[in-house]
Chain A
């Protein structure tokens, strides 16, 4: 297991290095001059040149790369052009909001996608399977923006069941004392149940918007993975031994389907953590996606670079965790096939 872990760790580290290089180069070839963007249109060329020198932008690309890598080692991702604050502070201050939204979306995706996928697989070809597949088609084809607008209009504007799209708390509600940055969790930890309730209400609509779409992916993967195990040898053997159908379904088939399902869940988490730009903007959710959107508008390349890097690292970390879980679930992977 240790060798397996070290191997995965090494692969992840190499991927991170590749990611850093790609992000650095892509940002350098994007149109837009960071110095000109920081100073605005009124700046003279002398001012721009002076700032370019201070920012090291007049240096050869490999020197800039060296400076950037040295900065990363120190935890310095540069300075956000739009606010003058360190990029790391800007992004990490928004990470809890993104994590909270992603967790809410994931919870909804799993609560809906998993049982519906199981239901569809176990009743293949029946009405409930058709209904689940219809749900999957609708969920995956409806744009998050459109779904979010529908939810806001129906559940906030008409029904008044949820607060308006103003972020993590209704207007005028003070946030809880920050411990983790996750409002629901912080409310629980500090015993502030009102904040827990208000945060969950504010979280509901954006999490539904994300979760409904993601649940379709989970549903489809659970269904197809479960169907693939239907005629497998171990299933036939279990049935021949007279094992009850429910045990074959929930224990044997599900365990064997978990590898594919885990892959899908890993991708869904990655999507939820990194792909929330539209939903965060629609609900004024103060997460990393929204700041990336704003950074695009203000030509804040440093911030965009930091965003791409953090999202990339999150993906790599998720893949690493999923790989580890593979190893836990399936000894063949952990032992490199020696168990077979």
Chain B
């Protein structure tokens, strides 16, 4: 007897339906993939040529962040700042002192695109003459008009941080003139030692006006869209390929005026999201340099053969912010009491694994004009309790906020909670999503919070104005002091070193007495490299300068 289960009339339709289902699913998958055929894959050709220097080394590095865009005035990640720093060159360049395999920035400058660079007698006007025969990568001439246009773009485009810098040194969009093809005149409203440092920074690299005109639109006259994904380099390197999801490959710019200064035939910056994997790749020899590694891993890598840890003192400041208009923090004695209760050396030893310096003030020890007389940051619980008692504030509760993504701040919050409990302050820890933290610091409604800041140019007055100047965009403490503001502005406009020291010392003393925020530590500038890598260069924005990095 034949089983009905073997009947073809039962079997075939089912199989046809299964086949139809598979075909439908397959068609869907191919359609989805096909729809994205143009969008997928790498933006560049991915096959970087060896450039002109085939005998030069190639480097593979991985930084703490990916490269988002290639516009040197609008990047948003540190990785992009490092990268674009080698795609543009400034009129002048900082000089460096070599310490081991690191180059540390000095206050002296040297000519870069400029062959001469002179100040007027009153120090307010700079006349720079460009080198002869300069061109961008595409072969178009680099002229004084490009310099003026680039600076004006920094002020008039959709930039923010360059605008802040211009204002600090008294520059407006009318300050720049192209005297002739090669001569630029820069007139500041006042003489400032910060001007030199600023003009040597990467955001003041020179871009091509002709390229912008060719690729801009009436709505986008500065070609910001084009510059996000493209370059026409005035610096030592140019982009061979760029995939924002994976890597960027740089190769020597054939139009660069000094080919001998280009140390590598290729630099690949690989975007590795997980810092632990970055460390693993370094150990296995797949990459030559890693940045942004967790400090416990850095400490472990100290003993790994074939690797070298480079750790240099930095001006970056980790601080405890205080809402100075909210009771009881509106009383300076309460803020001072908190400062006296904190275990500064413990932060360095336990949280930073020694890769930091304990707090020496808002103007840290290694920054010019630092004043040790302003006051020391030392733990003294009795003095802290006495101050709270004097202020009539005992046993209160507050909230300490920080970015959820920061493991360091998360640990620091626990130490602070424990330390303040010793003087009767109950701290509730509040880890906020990064977006909410940013919003609430901008709204200036957090009571206590952990944050960090790096003042470009290692300038004490820039540092003070940014963090405690009235109305400053990065003063999240609601603190304002007209006398202090005036002192800081005087400091900006003073060139005499002794006078600057005196003004700065007075400002630091006021800040210590008022304690609008509490400096906790200065984290080191830290990278781990494979043996043979040299030229790790820290400029005055504390970024890595790729043009000096190389390996044997």
Contact = CB atoms under 8 A, between A and B. Distances in A.
Contacts of A286: 243, 245-246
B28 A321 contact: yes
Given A31-B439, A166-B270, A284-B274, A325 B473 contact: no
B81 to A, nearest CB: 13
Given A96-B33, A243-B5, A329 B68 contact: no
Nearest to B472: A42
Contact of B274 (A33, A247, A281, A325): A281
B500 to A, nearest CB: 24
A92 interface: yes
B133 interface: no
A178 B37 contact: yes
B209 to A, nearest CB: 20
B224 interface: yes
Interface string A301-340: 1000000000000000100010011001100000000000
A324 B21 contact: yes
A181 B39 CA distance: 7
Interface string B6-47: 000000001001101100110011101111111111100111
A33 B436 CA distance: 9
Interface in B241-277: 243-247, 268, 270-274, 276-277
A148 B87 CA distance: 37
Contacts of B60: 171-172
Contact of B17 (A85, A179, A181, A328): A328
Interface stretch (B112-120, B279-287, B371-379, B479-487): B279-287
Contacts of B284: 156-157, 164
A255 B40 contact: no
A272 B60 CA distance: 31
A83 B439 contact: no
A203 B475 CA distance: 47
A214 B37 CA distance: 28
B474 interface: yes
A31 B435 contact: yes
B17 A42 contact: no
B91 to A, nearest CB: 23
Interface of A: 30-33, 36-37, 39-44, 47, 82-85, 89, 92-97, 99, 103, 149, 152-153, 156-157, 164-169, 171-172, 174-183, 185-186, 238, 241-243, 247, 251-252, 255, 280-284, 286, 290-291, 293-294, 296-299, 301, 317, 321, 324-325, 328-329
A36 B439 CA distance: 8
A299 B39 contact: no
Nearest to A100: B33
Interface residues of B, number: 72
B245 A182 contact: no
7 contacts: A47-B160, A149-B276, A168-B246, A282-B273, A282-B274, A296-B435, A325-B21
Contacts of A92: 35-36, 39
Contacts, number: 208
A208 B277 CA distance: 17
Contact of A164 (B41, B225, B281): B281
Nearest to B249: A172
A32 B37 contact: no
Nearest to A273: B32
Contact of B245 (A30, A31, A167): A167
B268 A182 contact: no
Contacts of A299: 434-435, 438-439
A311 B45 CA distance: 29
B33 A243 contact: no
B306 interface: no
B69 interface: yes
Given A32-B439, A186-B41, A296-B433, A84 B32 contact: no
Contact of B46 (A149, A175, A283): A175
Contacts of B21: 324-325, 328-329
B405 interface: yes
* Those 5 A-B pairs whose CB atoms lie nearest each other, nearest first: A181-B40, A286-B245, A178-B41, A299-B435, A32-B435
Contacts of A251: 5
Contacts of B76: 40, 82, 298
Contact of B5 (A156, A241, A293, A325): A241
Nearest to B76: A82
A252 B245 contact: no
Interface in B389-410: 405
Interface of B: 1, 3, 5, 14, 17-18, 20-21, 24-25, 28-30, 32-42, 45-47, 60, 66, 68-69, 74, 76, 160-161, 163-164, 224-225, 228-229, 243-247, 268, 270-274, 276-277, 280-281, 283-284, 286-287, 405, 433-436, 438-442, 473-474
Nearest to B80: A83
Nearest to A262: B21
Contact of B33 (A99, A283, A317, A328): A99
Contacts of A167: 245-247, 271
Contacts of B474: 41-42
A277 B270 CA distance: 19
Given A82-B68, A93-B245, 13 more contacts: A30-B435, A31-B436, A32-B438, A33-B442, A92-B36, A156-B284, A167-B271, A171-B247, A178-B40, A178-B41, A238-B3, A243-B5, A251-B5
A95 B32 contact: yes
B443 to A, nearest CB: 9
Given A96-B36, A165-B277, A298-B76, A329 B17 contact: yes
A290 B161 CA distance: 28
Given A164-B284, A180-B34, A84 B473 contact: no
Contacts of B163: 42
A317 B37 contact: no
B246 A84 contact: no
B43 to A, nearest CB: 8
Contacts of A185: 33
B119 to A, nearest CB: 28
Given A37-B435, A37-B438, A85-B228, A238 B5 contact: yes
Contacts of B270: 166, 171, 284
A44 B25 contact: no
Nearest to A238: B5
Nearest to B280: A157
Contacts of B243: 175, 286
Interface centre among A32, A103, A149, A177 (most CB of B within 10 A): A32
Contact of A95 (B40, B45, B74, B287): B40
A174 B243 CA distance: 11
